Amino acid sequence: MATANMHDWLNDHGDFLYRFALARLRDPHLAEDVVQETFLAAIKSPDFAGQSAPRTWLTGILKHKIIDVMRKNMREIAASDLMTDEDANMDEFFDETGHWAEPQLAWDMPEGALEQKQFLDVLQTCMDKLPNKLAQLFLMRDVHETDNEEICKELNISTTNAWVMLYRARMGLRKCLEINWLGA
């Protein structure tokens, strides 16, 4: 690829690619790293012949780089205590009879723009509290609606493990939202 073109692409698409990565990896440094790797791959690739828009082409490369990061993360998570019990030990949420330890309070996403912004800020804080790898998996599933089997194949984890991790992520987020939104 011509060097001048690359500089234009960096100017035109760099921040877009960064936000795309940041929304999925939730870590500024990781996001910058994958954007850099994307441009490196683009420089070295003879493939681009203008058959698609540069942004589409770059985003395609970026997606693969993001999956690579997540796959590496999942290898680490597999060895950690997050995954040791198959049955998702959720003792803090339930009593010994399997009933909710605390009442499930009624709340919903507010309608007004300002309140909704505040709600999303609380959600952002709660996402930050979640272990980042769990947050990434959760985002891959619930935001990008990647097929569950595809996630497991890409990340090399079992479907059961994925269900357990997603359950944990959702339970943690729900609890955090309830405390911080209703408590605010």
- Interface with another protein (CB under 8 A): 3, 6-7, 10, 14-15, 18-20, 22-24, 28, 31-32, 35-36, 39-40, 43-44, 88, 90, 93-94, 97-100, 103-109, 116, 119-120, 123-124, 127, 138-139, 141-143, 148, 159, 162-163, 166-167, 170-171, 173-174, 177-178
Q: Residue 80 or residue 116: which is nearer to another protein going by CB?
A: 116
Q: Residue 73 or residue 141: which is nearer to another protein going by CB?
A: 141
Paired tokens of 172:
């943690």
Q: Residue 79 or residue 131: which is nearer to another protein going by CB?
A: 131
Distance of CA 95 to the CA centre of its chain: 31
> Are 137 and 169 contacting, i.e. CB atoms less than 8 angstroms apart?
yes
Q: Residue 33 or residue 79: which is nearer to another protein going by CB?
A: 33
Q: How far apart are CA 135 and CA 119, in angstroms?
A: 18
**Angle (CA) 46 48 50, round 5°:** 145
Q: Which residues contact 21 (CB under 8 A, 6 or more apart)?
A: 30, 31, 32, 34, 35, 62, 65, 66
Minimum distance of another protein from residue 71's CB (angstroms): 19
Minimum distance of another protein from residue 124's CB (angstroms): 6
Q: How far apart are CA 179 and CA 154, in angstroms?
A: 34
